[in-house]
Structure 1
Amino acid sequence: MPPRPDLAPDSGLERAEMEALQREIADAAVFEDDFAFDPSTLGDPLAAASSPDDPPIVAGVDQSFLTNAEGEQDRALSAVVAMRGGEVIERVHAVTPLEIPYIPGLLAFREGGPILEALEALSVDPDLLLFDGSGRIHFRQAGIATHIGVVRDVPAVGVAKSLLCGSPRGDLENLAEGTRVPIEANARVDAPDGTLLGYAVQTRQYDSPNRYINPLYVSPGHRVGPDTAADIVLALADSYKLPEPVRLADSYADEAKRGLEE
């Protein structure tokens, strides 16, 4: 399947055109495993060392924002951290103007441009992209992980901190570490009711009855199935709630932002 630059997010479109493009993205997306690497070697130097092939490259993607003299956000900074075998091999970022406000469900049209620029700056080709944002758990099954995954034709996973839409098939409060709860389509999603969109995944949990950590909302973006997406996030969430590539991209976005503001 070739990349689809013709489907790149365009912030100049009208809202109805953006939503129509997202439906086209969802139709082009593959929500099942379609990749050549071994997921068990992601982030594990020992597993990677025992593999006859080169470890896969996984890149985390996150955003930060810069403000103008009036204190208004006017630029997006996209940070990408590429890792192989649990080690960082490259970090890049790109800054572009913000052209539209945040609109729930249309995040890719606000942040997709700088993400694509940052990915172009990488000297390595990621085998997998992890986004701080949604994949199939989206009103039109085309969150930012799906949109960028399809445009680049790279396996992608969305890792969101809040649930945009869909219905959990169980209680999400105080889940045990390692638990996953299916998220299925409801009336707010352009999919038949009950369609498995992804999982609420509990990567970390306090050992205390008085406080708890909320789960992450993990969904396939492109060329990754929902169960594998959850497996990947659990495997890469080493000592923190977020999977390591996304956590490091978040940290690098803040670092790059400080460097530009100084």
Structure 2
Amino acid sequence: MNPARPEFVPDASLSRAEMEELQWDVASAAAFTDDLSFDPANVSTAQSSLVPDEERPLVAGVDQAFLDDYAVSAIVVLRGGEVVERVHAVTELSIPYIPGLLSFREGGPIVDAFAELDCEPDLVLFDGSGRIHFRQAGLATHMGVVLDVPAIGVAKNLLCGRARESVGQRPEGWRTPIEAADGVKPRPTDDASTFSDTVVGYAYQSRQYPNSKQINPLYVSPGHRVSAETTVELVERLGGDYKLPEPTRLADAYADDCKREY
């Protein structure tokens, strides 16, 4: 699977100012509304006789492991509860981690992994932010636009934005909107006067376990061609027995397996 918008492929050789300018271009090209080829109700990680296989979308999880100065980028594609393809790529990293510029460190290696993929996913989940980003162009948004595929960001920490309610000590299934405040900047097409109230994602309490330490929520946000509300619905439907949704959990495990081989 090759980039649909190669002009947006992250270039780690750019200056910081040029990287930020490219992110603004990506954010302007991103669609934070639903443009899906499938019915969200058909998304699940469980097998069901009620939904024919041909109506189940291909859902990919993307994650990375790191070995010295190399990234091991892994993609696992599911149809329902069945893994239909797994690929990975090992790519030398060009720059260190810089908050807000993650896609310029990890985006190139992810593009390399997608080049190994035979199928074309209907939906991709990334380990990182989407619209919850200083310039509304986190890893999931950047890669979603490059590939022109519906994309979701699933992050473990809140990069910016403000939760409408306190996120502590919440039960499984609880969620609250993340509003565009505290660092999220409007695009030229956004209404700056009301932008701070815009919902750019959700804090979602995917799991809590009895008699164990409280689990923190995930921060899910639209990357491209998905709305914030549908984003959290899809992440919920892709949940399993663990905190992370199954596609990214399996990609995380596969990346670690590949790293051990190297």
- TM-score normalised by structure 2 residue count: 0.93
Runs of 4+ in 1 over 4 A off after TM superposition: 44-49
Match of 1:24, SS? helix
Match of 1:50, SS? coil
Q: How far is 1:42 from its partner?
A: 1.7
Match of 1:181, SS? strand
User: What residue is the counterpart of 2:148 in the other structure?
Assistant: 153
Alignment partner of 1:84 is 2:85: no
Alignment partner of 1:178 is 2:173: yes
Contact map agreement 1:41 1:48 (CA 8 A) in 2: no
User: What residue is the counterpart of 1:212 in the other structure?
Assistant: 214
Which residue identity lines up with residue 67 of structure 2 in the other structure?
A: L
User: What residue is the counterpart of 1:163 in the other structure?
Assistant: 158
Alignment partner of 1:96 is 2:97: no
Cα gap change, 1:130/1:231 in structure 2, threshold over 3 Å: closer, same or farther? Answer: same
In the alignment, structure 2 segments of 5+ residues that lack a partner are: 187-194
Which residue identity lines up with residue 133 of structure 2 in the other structure?
A: H
Match of 1:154, SS? coil
Q: How does 1:223-262 map to 2 (within 5 A)?
A: 223-260=225-262
Q: How far is 1:199 from its partner?
A: 0.1
Q: How far is 1:206 from its partner?
A: 2.4
Match of 1:182, SS? strand
Cα gap change, 1:123/1:199 in structure 2, threshold over 3 Å: closer, same or farther? Answer: same
Q: How does 1:36-75 map to 2 (within 5 A)?
A: 36-47=37-48, 50-51=51-52, 53-67=54-68, 74-75=69-70
Identity among equivalent positions (%) equals 59
In the alignment, structure 1 segments of 5+ residues that lack a partner are: 68-73
- TM-score normalised by structure 1 residue count: 0.93
Distance 1:234 1:195 in 2: 22
Q: How far is 1:174 from its partner?
A: 1.1
User: What residue is the counterpart of 1:9 in the other structure?
Assistant: 10
User: What residue is the counterpart of 1:144 in the other structure?
Assistant: 139
Which residue identity lines up with residue 237 of structure 2 in the other structure?
A: A
Distance 2:182 2:253 in 1: 36
Distance 2:34 2:49 in 1: 20
Q: How far is 1:231 from its partner?
A: 0.6
User: What residue is the counterpart of 1:70 in the other structure?
Assistant: none
Alignment partner of 1:19 is 2:20: yes
Which residue identity lines up with residue 41 of structure 2 in the other structure?
A: S
Q: Deviations over 1:14-45 (max 9, x none)?
A: 00000010011000000011011111222244
User: What residue is the counterpart of 2:190 in the other structure?
Assistant: none
Q: How far is 1:50 from its partner?
A: 2.5
Q: Deviations over 1:131-156 (max 9, x none)?
A: 00000000000000000000110000
Cα gap change, 1:46/1:251 in structure 2, threshold over 3 Å: closer, same or farther? Answer: closer
Equivalenced residue count is 252
Contact map agreement 2:38 2:55 (CA 8 A) in 1: no
Q: How far is 1:212 from its partner?
A: 0.9
Q: Deviations over 1:88-138 (max 9, x none)?
A: 011100111110010000000000011011111111110000000000000
Distance 1:26 1:32 in 2: 13
Q: Deviations over 1:200-231 (max 9, x none)?
A: 001111234x7311000000000000011101
Cα gap change, 1:48/1:242 in structure 2, threshold over 3 Å: closer, same or farther? Answer: farther
Cα gap change, 1:238/1:112 in structure 2, threshold over 3 Å: closer, same or farther? Answer: same
Distance 1:110 1:171 in 2: 32
Task: Give the counterpart of 1:125 among 99, 120, 126.
Answer: 120
Contact map agreement 2:128 2:138 (CA 8 A) in 1: yes
Cα gap change, 1:75/1:217 in structure 2, threshold over 3 Å: closer, same or farther? Answer: same
